[in-house]
């Protein structure tokens, strides 16, 4: 279907969902494979803006179509940020699309992923009801924590209208080290006392990128201790922006996110990939056929973010509770299935 609906208010969003038997919300198109389905497309571009922001409570509420760069700029003015390192900010990724994709960046290693920062959602379910789940304050612990189910839901549970997040104070300083030793050092550093902010291996490299955050004086002393334990050096440039924007990926091949463990990194040998979150996530740019075989043989699973490829790769399981949530929120199957 080529139909595109363009609501500019929550009321119009409800009408848009109710107007067709099969719909899918789309954002800026930075992860197009996730919404490559036969359905009426609802553009969220007209639903944007920060609705509430309370720096003293470290929370904000924003519309789903709000570009991440706008949120990052507003938070930076008050010395705050989203520690999970949102991906594709410069490319124009939106808040709703990031939640639906469940996409977290290098900062996930220390602080947890996007799922650990979302507090509440306002959404339209499959029957056309406008619902609110979760809260707008960090201390609200009442009820079933449904907002977390929307993280990585691919728009299959409902159309997000607004989301509330908690944020952190921005660290006063940041320093990146390049440590030699590959996956062995990655595992050792992940279990060391240094509290790295991020531990990644960039595409085509074997060195570990270790990011430290804190006061400048403390970073200098800490970096000396780290380099006394593992060989390496301080990185003068910023390697993280290129990783967050996938500038390393081949535009001619699919881009896949795969869950793994450091012990299974060898299964990706010869492929172009970015190893993130201490070796527990890989972003891979490779031909679909080869990657499917690699992931299946290693009992790993992956999902395509962009490119001409199946949505799912490798071995995957779906907990019964996920199917139950899908049935509860979309009993009429107005949204695509989790297999599409």
Contact between 51 and 154 (Cβ < 8 Å): no
pLDDT in the model for residue 336: 96
Whole-model pTM: value is 0.94
Q: Where are the domains of the chain?
A: 4-169, 174-200+209-238, 246-314
Query: Could you tell me the CA-to-CA distances from 332 to 61, 129, 268 in Å, in that order?
Result: 29, 12, 40
CATH number of 4-169: 3.30.465.10
pLDDT in the model for residue 249: 97
Separation of alpha carbons 334 and 329, rounded Å: 10
Contact between 177 and 218 (Cβ < 8 Å): no
Q: Give the helix/strand (H/E) hosting 255.
A: strand 255-259
Residues sharing a CB contact under 8 Å with residue 323, sequence separation 6 or more, in sequence order: 338
pLDDT in the model for residue 318: 80
Quick one: DSSP state of residue 39?
S
Dihedral of CA atoms 310, 278, 105, 225 in degrees, nearest 10, equals -160
Per-residue pLDDT of the chain (340 residues; tens, 9 = 90+): 578 999 999 999 999 999 999 999 999 999 999 999 999 999 999 999 999 999 999 999 999 999 999 999 999 999 999 999 999 999 999 999 999 999 999 999 999 999 999 999 999 999 999 999 987 766 555 556 889 999 999 999 999 999 999 999 999 999 999 999 988 999 999 999 999 999 999 999 999 999 999 999 999 999 999 999 999 999 999 999 999 999 999 999 999 999 998 889 999 999 999 999 999 999 999 999 999 999 999 999 999 999 999 999 999 888 888 899 999 999 999 999 988 8
Contact between 216 and 210 (Cβ < 8 Å): no
pLDDT in the model for residue 145: 80
């Amino acid at each position: 279907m080529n139909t595109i609906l363009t609501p500019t208010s929550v009321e119009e969003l409800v009408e848009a969902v109710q107007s067709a038997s099969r719909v899918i919300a789309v954002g800026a198109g930075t992860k197009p494979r996730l919404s490559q389905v036969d359905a009426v497309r609802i553009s969220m571009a007209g639903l944007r803006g920060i609705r509430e922001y309370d720096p003293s409570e470290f929370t904000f509420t924003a519309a789903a179509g709000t570009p991440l760069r706008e949120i990052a700029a507003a938070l930076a003015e008050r010395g705050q940020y989203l520690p999970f390192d949102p991906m594709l900010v410069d490319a124009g990724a939106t808040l709703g699309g990031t939640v639906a994709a469940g996409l977290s960046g290098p900062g996930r290693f220390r602080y947890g992923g996007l799922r650990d920062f979302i507090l509440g959602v306002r959404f339209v379910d499959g029957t056309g009801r406008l619902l609110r789940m979760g809260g707008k304050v960090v201390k609200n612990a009442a009820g079933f924590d449904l907002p977390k189910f929307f993280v990585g839901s691919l728009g299959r549970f409902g159309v997000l209208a607004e989301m509330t997040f908690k944020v952190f104070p921005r660290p006063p300083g940041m320093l990146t080290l390049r440590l030699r030793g590959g996956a062995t050092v990655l595992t050792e550093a992940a279990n060391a006392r240094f509290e790295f902010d991020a531990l990644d291996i960039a595409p085509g490299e074997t060195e570990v990128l270790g990011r430290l955050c804190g006061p400048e004086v403390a970073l200098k002393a800490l970096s000396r201790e780290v380099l006394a334990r593992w060989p390496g050096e301080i990185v003068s440039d910023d390697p993280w922006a290129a990783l967050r924007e996938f500038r390393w990926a081949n535009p001619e091949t699919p881009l896949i996110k795969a869950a793994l463990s450091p012990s299974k990194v060898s299964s990706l040998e010869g492929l172009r990939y970015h190893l993130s979150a201490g070796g527990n996530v890989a972003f891979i740019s490779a031909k679909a056929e080869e990657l499917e075989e690699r992931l299946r043989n290693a009992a790993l699973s992956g999902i395509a973010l962009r490119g001409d490829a199946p949505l799912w790769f490798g071995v995957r399981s779906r907990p019964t509770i996920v199917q139950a949530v899908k049935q509860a929120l979309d009993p009429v199957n107005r949204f695509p299935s989790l297999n599409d």
